[in-house]
Amino acid sequence: MTYLTSAILGLVQGVAEFLPISSSGHLSLMGNLLGLAQDDILFEVLLHLGTLAAVFVVYWQDIVDMVRDFFGILGSLFSRNRRVRVSPSANTRMVFMIIVATLPLVLVIPVKDYVETFYGSTLFIGCALLVTGIILFFSDRIAQGRKTARTATMLDALIVGLGQAVAVVPGLSRSGTTISIGMMRGFDRKFAVRFSFLMSIPAIFGANILEVGAAVKAGLHAEMIPIYILGMLISMVSGYFAIKLVNLLATKGKFGLFAYYCWAVGIVAIVVTLI
């Protein structure tokens, strides 16, 4: 792997992880069609950690508030003073919603190896991108919802979480699917984006945990460290701006613009595969 390959893959990972265009689909297409594949598991883990860092940077205050309120609730439950009770805040409800939304990912673990077989099929990825485009196209045509962390239900969170579990297949955008389903459940557009990105924290972290063992076995070559760091930093910076862009477009009701891009890339992938 070269510095250029690392930079390109880092940029694609950071942008496509949060823009609703499927990072796994794009990385697979680049590998299969453009010869930019990389089979370095450690590097893949670091790229995902870079995008995870971007979420923490953008939503740092939200994360701090959620952790503080969540432990405040736990403290009140175990308090000796039975008169001390803290009502669940919006931040505490958000924590429980994220936990509920993460549960469906457990269903993916038994079929993980099977799902990974689709990464080598540009035809499948192209078709999945067309489906992503359809989801995005109709997301902008949904009436503006009003639900926030205070009014959304755990059933809403579970349904969005099921969408996240389905979106593990390459070509289906995790962010596009979860944000769109959130809107369908009546989420306020800004809240749908916020919930989608915050619920990506345990999803990305958990996926990396599953790969750590393989990464350790593969070993680390000291001369590759600067190349790894470059890709990781680029994925973090590009991921930061991608999150900001999605927030802006979703709030303005322009989220569906990405549908045309997904359709274009999907059609190209299908045509190139068939000819």
Per residue in 2-36, pLDDT (tens digit) is 888 889 889 988 999 899 988 888 888 877 766 65
Is 250 within a domain? Answer: yes
For residues 261 and 193, what is the distance between their CA atoms, to the nearest angstrom?
20
Is 177 within a domain? Answer: yes
* Alpha-carbon distances of 12 from 72, 126, 236, 267, rounded to whole Å: 39, 17, 11, 19
Number of domains in the chain: 1
Contacts 24+ apart (CB under 8 A), 224-229: 224/1, 224/40, 224/43, 226/3, 227/1, 227/2, 227/3, 227/6, 227/43, 228/6, 228/42, 228/43, 228/46, 229/46
**Taking residues 184-200, what's their average pLDDT?**
93
Q: In this predicted model, which residue has the larger pLDDT, 32 or 132?
A: 132
Q: In this predicted model, which residue has the larger pLDDT, 222 or 86?
A: 222
**Taking residues 247-270, what's their average pLDDT?**
88
At residue 128, the pLDDT reads: 94
CB atoms closer than 10 angstroms to residue 130: 18
- Token pair 């958990």 is found at 206
Residue type, 238: S
pTM here is 0.89
For residues 180 and 175, what is the distance between their CA atoms, to the nearest angstrom?
8
- Token pair 């992503």 is found at 132
Confidence check: pLDDT of 60 > 90: yes
Confidence check: pLDDT of 37 > 70: no
Domain that holds residue 235: 3-77+88-274
Is 82 within a domain? Answer: no
Is 83 within a domain? Answer: no
Tokens of 263: 């359709």
**Taking residues 226-251, what's their average pLDDT?**
92
